Amino acid sequence: MKMNGITALSSLACITALSISAGAQTSGGAPHLQKQGAATQLVVDGKPYLAFAGELTGDAATSLPMMEPIWPKIVSGNLNTVLVAMSWAQFEPEEGKFNYVQLDGVIAKARENNLHLIFLWFGSWKNGTSSYAPYWVKKDYVRFPRIQIGEGRTVSISGPIELLSTLGDATRDADAAAFGAFMRHVKEVDGVQHTVLMMQVENEVGVLRDSRDRSPAANRAFAGQVPAELMSYLQSHKDALIPEFREVWAANGFKASGTWEEVFGPGKPANIEIPIQTQSPPMSADEHEISWRRLHWASDEIFMAWNYARFVEKVAQAGKAAYDIPMYVNAWLQQPNHAWPGTYPCGGPLPQVHDIWRAGAPDVDILAPDLYLPYFDEVCERFSRNGNPLFIPETGTNASNVIMAVGKYNAIGFSPFGVDGGRPMPADLGAAYQMLSQMSPMILAHQGTGTMTAVRMVQGEPPKQVSLGNYTLTFRYTGRIRGLPPQERGGVVAPSYGPATPSGEPLPPLEAGAVLISTGPDEYYFGGGGMRVDFAPTTPGPSNVGLGDVQEGRFVEGKWEVTRQLAGDDDAQGEILVLHPGTILRVTLYRYP
């Protein structure tokens, strides 16, 4: 059905590659990941790179003409990278015949607009289901088996279940072959210019409506032994395992072998209904808070995570064999009202099963959260454990979140979902992207070194203390300046956070955010604001602190340029430092008795 609406491709016997000029020669090899202290960075053409990105809706790139109006919107939103889905169905409409039209067309337009790309491979799964698999796969349910679920399917989701099974070797091999062909072509047309930075393999994999696959093949595997390679990975990483996973293994006596249920405890009986809401069965507020941070029916989730990881590993391996650039998988998260497996896709790369994914899919470089939850910082922390690089492929447009992600959690990228939709890009996110892009070289130089962090505050929150460099900084919320024209801010030329909702919708809760970087014994750079800062020394010497020199400015190609010198009324006669959203300050302190 979908195929007919895309293009007239289905009638083509053979679809040849567009020829794309490889463009200017660049240095530094293919995009890759590189450690810097505690951070992992994405290196593009020899330099670390921060992706201020946005993801297009799933079908956006199925029609190049329909994409035309999207490009100017992306450029005006100050994005430097776009995440674009490519479907297996459209890429391989007939088995073994590949269509490069969308891939080439999107690369060409990205280059024209000076943008980088991250492609999402919608192969066997997208949001747990298999709607982007080609028609020739969908109709052959013998060669490409589906999962089966038990009687206890979730009540609120009805209808048949059309999910390809992880245990179909033919599915895995066909998906891997297609992805390999896709990556071969990316290398051919982009192996020099590096417009394409990374690949997402599949999208939000996992079993929906039950906690595991209950097909005969899956039941046999579930009744069998936990594979020796998984057990040996767990033994050798025993002391560094993710705590919520380790607890489950510990509770079952750290067994070194056995069936899934012997090693990890009971799974869900087939006929038990999965609670959709944490209020059903009724539970206390405390349980409500805890339930979405726990493994339920642990064996089922661990078993599925292993099987998805093994499948995805083969696909990623085939892609890397053709063109070795970073690859990640994304997770639909467990959440307060969807805390039990099956209400979120079970077996995806959720934090509680990161160790299983690491063991099963070593070619997957990043396990990434699709982060729409209000617990943004907590999820960033859970996805930064054991050296997992933080990349947020899907999220909302909260400007403070991108400041926190790159400033505190060393993220390599941040990408609100649906940036091609009808809504304008929020002005405050655009201003934050512009500010952070200017600061990128400095932020990248400080990631992972302990000399940078970020702070956010909401209206009404008590003062917050942060120790960085030789001082403890106390932040107080002062408010967010929305849409004040420069003359009302005393001629400040730096971008303010403009009106977030030009259409007149209610404003989101007021929130302030700033990145802070310690660049010398008495020197800081601040990007962003809506807060004031007081300084207290943490090293011996006089205890009072004055604002010696306060500069407002900008970075031009990485070099600091002062746009205004602040003193007198602008820093309370040298006593109070106020940070304004979208503004960069360089501050030098002095101490006196």
- Write out the residues near ligand DGJ by the rule CB under 6 A: 58, 127, 203-204, 370, 394, 417
Pairing of strands 464-468, 471-477: antiparallel
As measured in angstroms, the least distance from the Cβ of 204 to ligand DGJ is: 5
As measured in angstroms, the least distance from the Cβ of 508 to ligand DGJ is: 18
Q: Which two tokens stand for residue 145?
A: 């088996």
At position 361, the amino acid (one-letter code) is: A
177 CB-near residues (< 8 Å, 6+ apart): 318
As measured in angstroms, the least distance from the Cβ of 199 to ligand DGJ is: 15
Q: Among positive and negative, which fits the CA dihedral 471, 472, 478, 480?
A: positive
Nearer to ligand DGJ, 180 or 345 (CB): 345
As measured in angstroms, the least distance from the Cβ of 418 to ligand DGJ is: 7
At residue 579, the 3 state secondary structure works out as strand
As measured in angstroms, the least distance from the Cβ of 332 to ligand DGJ is: 6
As measured in angstroms, the least distance from the Cβ of 411 to ligand DGJ is: 18
As measured in angstroms, the least distance from the Cβ of 132 to ligand DGJ is: 10
Sheet with 531-537, edge to edge strand ranges? 464-468, 471-477, 531-537, 577-579
As measured in angstroms, the least distance from the Cβ of 263 to ligand DGJ is: 31
At residue 314, the 3 state secondary structure works out as helix
81 φ/ψ angles, rounded to the nearest 5 degrees: -145, 140
Q: Which two tokens stand for residue 218?
A: 């899956």
> Shortest Cβ contact with ligand DGJ: which residue?
204
Pick from 590, 305, 322: nearest CA to 470: 590
Nearer to ligand DGJ, 132 or 477 (CB): 132
Q: For residues 368 and 198, give the distance between their C-alpha atoms in angstroms, rounded to a whole number.
A: 13
Distance of CA 585 to the CA centre of its chain: 29
Give, for 49, the enclosing helix (H) or strand (E): strand 47-49
Buried b (16+ CB within 10 A) or exposed e, 46-82: eebbbbbbbbbebbbbbeeeebeebbeebeebbbbbb
Nearer to ligand DGJ, 120 or 566 (CB): 120
Distance of CA 127 to the CA centre of its chain: 15
| β partners of residue 465 | 474
Nearer to ligand DGJ, 267 or 345 (CB): 345
Nearer to ligand DGJ, 58 or 168 (CB): 58
Which letter does DSSP use for residue 209 in this model?
Answer: S
Nearer to ligand DGJ, 47 or 423 (CB): 423
Nearer to ligand DGJ, 53 or 431 (CB): 53
CB neighbourhood size of 237 (10 A): 15
- Give the number of residues written for the chain: 593
Nearer to ligand DGJ, 369 or 553 (CB): 369
As measured in angstroms, the least distance from the Cβ of 292 to ligand DGJ is: 17
Q: Reduce the secondary structure of 81-120 to three states and give it as a string.
A: EEEEEEEHHHHCCECCECCCHHHHHHHHHHHHCCCEEEEE
Distance of CA 338 to the CA centre of its chain: 20
Pairing of strands 391-395, 366-371: parallel
Q: Among positive and negative, which fits the CA dihedral 336, 340, 343, 344?
A: positive
Say if CB 76 and CB 99 are below 8 A apart: no
450 φ/ψ angles, rounded to the nearest 5 degrees: 80, 10
Say if CB 402 and CB 396 are below 8 A apart: no
Q: Which two tokens stand for residue 303?
A: 């078993």
As measured in angstroms, the least distance from the Cβ of 120 to ligand DGJ is: 8
Give, for 368, the enclosing helix (H) or strand (E): strand 366-371
Nearer to ligand DGJ, 59 or 324 (CB): 59
Which letter does DSSP use for residue 119 in this model?
Answer: E
Nearer to ligand DGJ, 371 or 494 (CB): 371
Nearer to ligand DGJ, 51 or 218 (CB): 51
As measured in angstroms, the least distance from the Cβ of 122 to ligand DGJ is: 8
As measured in angstroms, the least distance from the Cβ of 81 to ligand DGJ is: 17
Nearer to ligand DGJ, 83 or 218 (CB): 83
As measured in angstroms, the least distance from the Cβ of 371 to ligand DGJ is: 11
Nearer to ligand DGJ, 58 or 349 (CB): 58
